[in-house]
Chain A
Amino acid sequence: MRVMVIVKGDKNSEAGILPDKKLFEEMGKFNEQLAKAGVILAGEGLKPTSNGKRVKFSGATRTVIDGPFTESKEIIAGFWLWQVRSMEEAVEWLKRAPFDGGTEIELRPVYEVDDFGDALTPEMKEQEERTRRQVEKQKAS
């Protein structure tokens, strides 16, 4: 499964202040660990919202709003996309990240093929289960 790891913005990230050298190095090591475990699919840091734009949709009208945006809780400063076996694995990896100072990082599972087409999943699962039982029976005899 894939999990998006969302790093929220704060005053520093909005002011365009890059993390200090120590944190930068630690983050580099953490990224290396993730890469060595085959977990990391993508990851980027985002520039402050003063560089960003928003487009608002209502009916046929599209209104472009320039940054910066003030609702800092809603601001995303960076993200990773991880490939893991479970949410628990994602949590365990995240715990190893060098964040501090009350930072909260959000983990969100990405929709996968299995999440679509509910109608087919039980049928396919049942068929797989049937095959397994058959195989086990064959092996047992």
Chain B
Amino acid sequence: MAVIATDIHRTIDAVWRIESPRLIAGLMRIVRDLGLAEDLAQDALVAALEQWPESGVPDNPGAWLMATAKHRAIDSFRRKQLLVRKHEELGRDIETRQMSMPDFNANLDDNIGDDLLGLVFIACHPVLSTEARTALTLRLLGGLKTDEIARAFLLPEPTIAQRIVRAKRTLSDAHVPFEVPRGAELIARLSSVLEVIYLIFNEGYSATAGGDWMRPALCEDAIRLGRVLAELAPREAEAHGLVALMEIQASRVKARVGPTGEPILLFDQDRGKWDQLLIHRGLTALDRAEKLGARRGPYTIQAAIAACHARAHIPEETDWTRIVSLYDELAELSPSPVVQLNRAVAVALASGPAAGFELTEKLTSESSLKNYHLLPSVRGDLLTKLGRLAEARAEFERAATLTQNARERDLLLARAEKLPNRVD
């Protein structure tokens, strides 16, 4: 009996993951309030948890959940209207008098794409902190429950729960409308959405904290969110660019971890382990992005760089000249010391380690890179190639003190270990 109960709960979990974004988006269209829409959806979930173990999963579970949530909504509106009327009787005229019953019979399927997109834009609204956007996006669009989000980010469940509650309050206080922005606003708001999705991906791809180098499930969630977004906004080049970038990076997941969980860097990876299906998907998405946009956006450029690696069967085949020019393009669009650092690596491979190292010299005074472990890590690498081994060792040791990731620290210390302390 216990086994059966667990089975049905796992099924309900799965149904929830599939249906909840559409359910909440549909309810948003009716009630226009995220807190209320989510409460109604949760009520429907609770009803399912109570009833489905007895009755079995209905043939159309999505419709069942929506119908149940609508009933709750109607009940709640009737109660509120009753309350308003009582207030009026008491002489307290309240603005809410005009509150009319929303249209519960509107055909929701007609605009479900727009509703989902509206939900994406609310979850990633700039009034929210990045952490809040991330949690809300995973919850509303990814269908993840609070405990799953907490586990993914190695945070206590109450922290995530609080973030979500606060985020909903912020949205409601700011009267953020439920809509798909147009024109110039769309571009700005879309970039906030892309940022959140890529952040989730990166949290899974190079876990910033903890003992694991990667959390692949989080990568998969982010890629799925990206694909959903690209289908919802098919004319947005950067949405496809981001999907391309994530698919190509994810193609290396099996190759970038060694047998004891240690990271393996791009050039040392067994390229035979790269997932050709994901590479193919990434290149297709990149092609779509490049055909849509007159000018490549930052995600599309990064995807194009990743594609240069993906196309090279061995490291020596890498088209470094093209990569340098893509970094130039990226630096022009979004100038940042991190981009300059990556460009320096590309220059080192296109024109030799001395040229690359010289570029990193200018970056050592950048305050934003002061605690960035990849700067000393890259410098250590280039110094090794230049035969300046003692200096290289010092750089690797410095990098090891800066990284937050235990696996990466081990790798950096191991590289330092191999080098002499001082030149004899």
Contacts and interface: CB of A to CB of B under 8 A. Distances in A.
Whether both chains belong to one complex is answered with yes
Given A38-B226, A39-B224, A127-B211, A92 B15 contact: yes
Contact of B211 (A92, A112, A130): A130
B209 A89 contact: no
Interface stretch (B172-180, B212-220, B366-374): B212-220
Contacts of A85: 14, 17, 217, 220-221
Contacts of B227: 35, 38
B254 interface: yes
Interface in A85-141: 85-86, 88-89, 91-93, 112-114, 117, 120, 123-124, 127-128, 130-132, 135-136, 139-140
Contacts of A89: 14, 17-18
B225 interface: yes
A93 B18 CA distance: 8
Interface stretch (B32-40, B152-160, B353-361): B152-160
Nearest to B9: A88
B261 interface: yes
Given A92-B11, A92-B15, A139 B156 contact: yes
B281 interface: yes
Q: Which of A93, A131, A140 has the most CB of B within 10 A?
A: A131
A92 B14 contact: yes
B156 A38 contact: no
Contacts, number: 88
Interface string B56-67: 000001000000
B79 interface: no
Interface in B136-157: 151, 154-156
Contacts of A92: 11, 14-15, 18, 61
Q: Which of A83, A85, A86, A91 has the most CB of B within 10 A?
A: A85
Main secondary structure of the interface of A (DSSP, over half): helix
Interface string B279-294: 0010000000000000
Contacts of B151: 132
Contacts of A117: 259
> How many of chain A's residues touch chain B, expressed as a range?
20 to 34
Contacts of A39: 224
Contacts of A124: 211-212, 261
A41 B227 CA distance: 11
A108 to B, nearest CB: 16
A123 to B, nearest CB: 8
A131 B154 contact: yes
A132 B226 CA distance: 28
Nearest to A121: B261
A36 B231 contact: yes
A92 B57 CA distance: 10
Interface string B393-408: 0000000000000100
B277 interface: yes
A137 to B, nearest CB: 10
Interface in B6-28: 10-11, 13-15, 17-18
A3 to B, nearest CB: 12
A42 interface: yes
A5 interface: no
A139 B17 CA distance: 29
Interface of B: 10-11, 13-15, 17-18, 61, 151, 154-156, 159, 209-212, 216-217, 220-221, 223-228, 231-232, 253-254, 257, 259-261, 277, 281, 406
Q: Which 10 A-B pairs have the closest CB atoms?
A: A38-B227, A127-B211, A38-B224, A88-B14, A89-B14, A131-B210, A36-B231, A92-B14, A88-B10, A136-B156
18 contacts: A1-B220, A37-B228, A38-B224, A38-B225, A38-B228, A39-B224, A85-B17, A86-B14, A88-B13, A91-B11, A92-B11, A114-B216, A120-B259, A127-B406, A128-B154, A131-B209, A135-B156, A139-B159
Interface of A: 1, 35-39, 41-42, 81, 83, 85-86, 88-89, 91-93, 112-114, 117, 120, 123-124, 127-128, 130-132, 135-136, 139-140
Given A38-B231, A130-B211, 6 more contacts: A89-B14, A112-B216, A113-B257, A123-B260, A132-B210, A139-B155
